[in-house]
């Protein structure tokens, strides 16, 4: 073959080489051209749904904040020069419980805390409502002195509103006065004071004690004593022993409970809790009325303000014959968190929900 003339084999070789090199050359040219933009991709259905969720959540969150600021400004001093923050946190929980026997019960609850700093930097407004299915499994009081949260066996359906005034607010010492109304007929008014002290034994262990005195128009005087000891086993594990006892003219005795919990963080936004508890009432002949053991898994999912819990539980409540039959149930909860604060007058900003472990 003479020079300058390509054979059929050479032509095929050149075509194959061009087929392999042209895509790479085109990619290099695209990479070197800063003005070039990648082709647009269609928004997926999942992304569009997440965007609509965020938009709806932000709209509701901002509406609640606007109403909170309006309430604070109406009763407070709008001319205050200090950068007092008006804020709130609202948690809405929906529970689905598979009970012993196969029935499914649904319930919902709402708890909201409002910081009304223009009225007073020490003032808090608390609103709570429960519509959980009965029967309840006993647990330690969530909020002693607050009707519906002050007993080991709380009421199934109630709504409370309360104003709290902080007398002392320090890292190791807290005391507040509260007055509120349980929104049912007839209305149940209550007044209480709560004192809490925290003592740190070391960087990894502490003891927390609290005393609550309360007065209600239905059962007059009462008090609750709480003791809580925590030991941090490692950076992601806490061992907690908690006990509480409530005495009032309604109970006419001492209602008490004690729980031992192991709390383990198993991911960036998830944790598991193992709890065993025993509960009793001195007005009954038996020392203990109920035993229970539960496992609770809590995690943040999809959005930073959305959480779920899975809680299988076994309990041994005492029946009228003095026996302790085992009862099983499993609860699934979904929690939505709304919160926000106004950093200064006229500047209202919503904030992201923090993970509560």
Q: What pLDDT, in 10s, does the model give residues 120-129?
A: 888 999 999 8
Residues ≥6 apart with Cβ < 8 Å to 166: 122, 123, 124, 174, 175, 176
Q: How far apart are CA 105 and CA 99, in angstroms?
A: 7
Which pLDDT value is given to residue 12?
52
Residues 99 and 106: beta-carbon distance below 8 Å: no
What the block records as the tokens of 229 is: 């000891």
In the chain (357 residues long), the average pLDDT of successive 10-residue segments reads: 47 45 42 46 73 90 88 70 75 91 88 88 89 77 86 82 93 94 83 96 95 87 95 95 92 91 93 96 88 96 93 92 91 94 52 40
Which pLDDT value is given to residue 153?
82
Q: How far apart are CA 225 and CA 213, in angstroms?
A: 9
Which pLDDT value is given to residue 242?
97
What residue has token string 């007073």?
Answer: 120
**Dihedral of alpha carbons 132, 134, 140, 143, sign:** positive
Q: Name which CATH class applies to 85-348.
A: mainly beta
Angle at CA 228, nearest 5°, toward 96 and 272?
Answer: 40
Q: How far apart are CA 105 and CA 202, in angstroms?
A: 44
**pTM score of the predicted model:** 0.78
Which pLDDT value is given to residue 337?
95
Which pLDDT value is given to residue 214?
94
Residue 98's φ and ψ, nearest 5 degrees, are: -90, 110
Which pLDDT value is given to residue 167?
94
Give SS3 for 104: strand
Residue 212's φ and ψ, nearest 5 degrees, are: -120, 125
Cα–Cα separations (whole angstroms), residue 44 to 47, 49, 306: 5, 9, 21
Give SS3 for 177: strand
Q: How many residues does the chain have?
A: 357
Which pLDDT value is given to residue 74?
77
Which pLDDT value is given to residue 212?
96
């Amino acid at each position: 073959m003479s020079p300058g003339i390509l054979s059929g084999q050479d032509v095929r070789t050149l075509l194959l080489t061009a087929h392999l090199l042209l895509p790479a050359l085109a990619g290099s040219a695209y990479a070197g051209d800063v003005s070039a933009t990648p082709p647009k991709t269609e928004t997926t259905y999942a992304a569009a749904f997440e965007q609509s969720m965020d938009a709806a959540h932000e709209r509701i969150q901002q509406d609640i904040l606007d109403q909170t600021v309006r309430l604070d400004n109406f009763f407070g001093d709008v001319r205050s020069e200090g950068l007092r923050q008006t804020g709130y946190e609202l948690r809405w929980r929906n529970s689905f419980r598979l009970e012993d026997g196969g029935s499914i019960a649904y319930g919902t609850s709402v708890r909201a805390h409002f910081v009304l700093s223009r009225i007073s930097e020490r003032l808090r407004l608390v609103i709570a409502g429960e519509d959980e299915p009965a029967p309840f499994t006993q647990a330690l009081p969530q909020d002693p002195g607050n009707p519906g949260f002050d007993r080991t066996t709380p009421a199934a359906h109630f709504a409370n509103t309360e104003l709290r005034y902080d007398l002392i607010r320090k890292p190791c010492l807290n005391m507040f006065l509260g007055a509120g109304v349980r929104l049912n007929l007839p209305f149940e008014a209550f007044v209480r004071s709560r004192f809490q002290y925290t003592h740190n034994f070391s960087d990894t262990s502490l003891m927390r004690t609290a005393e609550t005195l309360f007065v209600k128009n239905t059962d007059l005087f009462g008090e609750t004593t709480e003791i809580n000891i925590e030991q941090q086993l490692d950076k992601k594990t806490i061992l907690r022993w908690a006990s509480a006892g409530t005495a009032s003219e309604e109970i006419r005795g001492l209602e008490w409970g004690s729980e031992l919990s192991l709390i383990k963080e198993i991911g960036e936004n998830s944790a598991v809790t193992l709890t065993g508890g025993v509960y009793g009432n001195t007005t009954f002949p038996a020392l203990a009325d109920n035993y229970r053991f539960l496992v609770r898994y809590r995690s943040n999912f999809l959005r930073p303000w959305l959480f779920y819990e899975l809680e299988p539980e076994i309990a041994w409540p005492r029946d009228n014959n003095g026996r302790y039959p085992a009862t099983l149930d499993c609860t699934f909860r979904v929690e939505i968190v709304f919160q926000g604060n106004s950093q200064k007058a006229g500047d209202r900003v919503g904030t992201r929900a923090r993970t509560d472990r």
